[in-house]
Amino acid sequence: MPIVHEPVTSCEDSFGHPAPDVLALEVQGLHFTYPDGHVALRGISLQVRCGEKVALVGPNGAGKSTLLLHLNGLLNGGQGNIRVMGMPVIAPNLPLIRARVGLVFQNPDDQLFSPTVYEDVAFGPLHMGLPEEEVRRRVAYALTQVGMAQYADRLSYHLSMGEKKRVAIATVLSMHPDILVLDEPSAGLDPRARRGLINLLRALPITMLASTHDMLMVRDLFPRTVIMDEGRIVADGPTEELLEQRDLLEAHGLEKL
C-alpha cells in the first residue's frame, strides 16, 4: 500500500534554525472509546508548534495517556484527525510517524529490552535499515545528549531508575524525532535524579509534550500547560498564568503550588 501523506515539513528552516511557525502536531476533534465502553477522549483538539515545550496535566483517568498513545498510532480506532509534521496518522504512514514521534513510556523497563545500553539505543536506527557507521554515529549522539556516553557497554538492567530514564530517552533520540512525547517522566525518581532529568529535558532542543503529575516540574520546565479532565481539554495557556488559578486547579484535581 502506498504511503499517503502531504509533503512532510520540518521543525528547522533551510538554515537549520528552529521554525516556530510550523505545526509539529495537530489534533482535531479526537474521540476514543475503549472496547469495554469507557469513553476516554471527548473531542480533543490541540496544536503544538515546533520548539514548544508543553505540559499535559490532570487527574488520573483524564485521558492524558490515551491521547499520547494516539500520537504515533499505538492506539487507533477513534474518530478525529491527527497530523504529525503535516502527515496524517494513518496505517500507511505509521513507520514514518513513529520515527518522528519519540514516545518515552513511564516505566523505562517497557522500553529497554536489549542486553546492553548500546544495543537498546541502536535498535531503532538498525530497524530503519541505516548503515552501521550511521547507527554508531546516532547512538553516540543520543547517549551524549542524555549524558550517558560512558554507559554504552553497561547492562541496562543494572542501571538506576534515573539512568534507565535517560537511556530510554536516548532510544528515541537516536531516531532523530521531531517531537519528544513523555509519559510521567519524573515518576519514581529520587530528588537528585529528578533534578538531573529536568535539566536534561530543558537543554534538549526539541519539541516536547509531557504528561505529568509533577507540578513543580511543570512550573520549572514547561512554558505552556494543557489541563485535561474527563477526556476533554478544560484549559490551555501560559503555565505561569494557569498555576495561579487556584479554583481552576482544584476543580480538576490539581493543587496550587
Question: In this structure, what DSSP letter does residue 93 have?
Answer: G
Which of 243, 69, 98 lies closest to 174 in space, CA to CA? 98
Q: Are 249 and 79 in contact (CB under 8 A)?
A: no
The pLDDT assigned to 1 comes to 37
Which of 12, 20, 16, 56 lies closest to 209 in space, CA to CA? 56
Q: Give the span between the Cα atoms of 238 and 224, in whole angstroms.
A: 5
235: Cβ contacts below 8 Å, ≥ 6 apart: 225, 226, 227, 242, 245, 248, 252
| Residue-level length of the chain | 257
- For the record, the C-alpha cell of 241 comes out as 498564568
Q: Give the span between the Cα atoms of 5 and 143, in whole angstroms.
A: 32
Q: Is the pLDDT of residue 206 over 80?
A: yes
Sheet with 39-49, side-by-side order of all strands: 39-49, 23-33, 79-84, 87-88
Q: pLDDT confidence of 14, banded at 50, 70, 90?
A: low
Q: Is the pLDDT of residue 2 over 50?
A: no
Question: In this structure, what DSSP letter does residue 150 have?
Answer: G
| Alpha-carbon distance values, 26 to 80, 83, 87, 96, 210 (Å) | 11, 5, 10, 16, 15
CATH of 23-251, one of 3.10.100.10, 3.40.50.300, 3.40.50.170, 3.30.470.20: 3.40.50.300
The pLDDT assigned to 16 comes to 60
pTM: 0.91
The pLDDT assigned to 257 comes to 82
Write out pLDDT tens, residues 176-202.
999 999 999 999 999 999 999 999 999
Decide: helix, strand or coil at residue 171. helix
Handedness of CA 77, 185, 107, 103 (dihedral sign): positive
What's the mean pLDDT in 119-127? Answer: 95
| Alpha-carbon distance values, 139 to 57, 69, 98, 119, 133 (Å) | 32, 25, 18, 9, 10
Query: Among all chains, which residue has been given the C-alpha cell 490541540?
Result: 46
Instruction: Characterize 90-118 residue by residue with b for buried, 16 or more Cβ atoms within 10 angstroms of its Cβ, and e for exposed.
Output: beebbeebbbbbbbbbbebeebbeeeebb
Write out pLDDT tens, residues 52-76.
999 999 999 999 999 999 999 999 8
Q: Is the pLDDT of residue 17 over 80?
A: no
Give residue limits of the domains in the chain: 23-251
Q: Percentage of residues in the chain with pLDDT exceeding 90?
A: 84
Query: Among all chains, which residue has been given the C-alpha cell 515546533?
Result: 50
What's the mean pLDDT in 151-156? Answer: 94
Query: Among all chains, which residue has been given the C-alpha cell 547492562?
Result: 155
Which of 105, 62, 101, 66 lies closest to 83 in space, CA to CA? 101
Query: Among all chains, which residue has been given the C-alpha cell 533534578?
Result: 195
Least confident of 11-25, 64-78, 165-179: 11-25
Q: Is the pLDDT of residue 6 over 70?
A: no
Q: Give the span between the Cα atoms of 102 and 98, in whole angstroms.
A: 7
Q: Give the span between the Cα atoms of 17 and 131, in whole angstroms.
A: 27
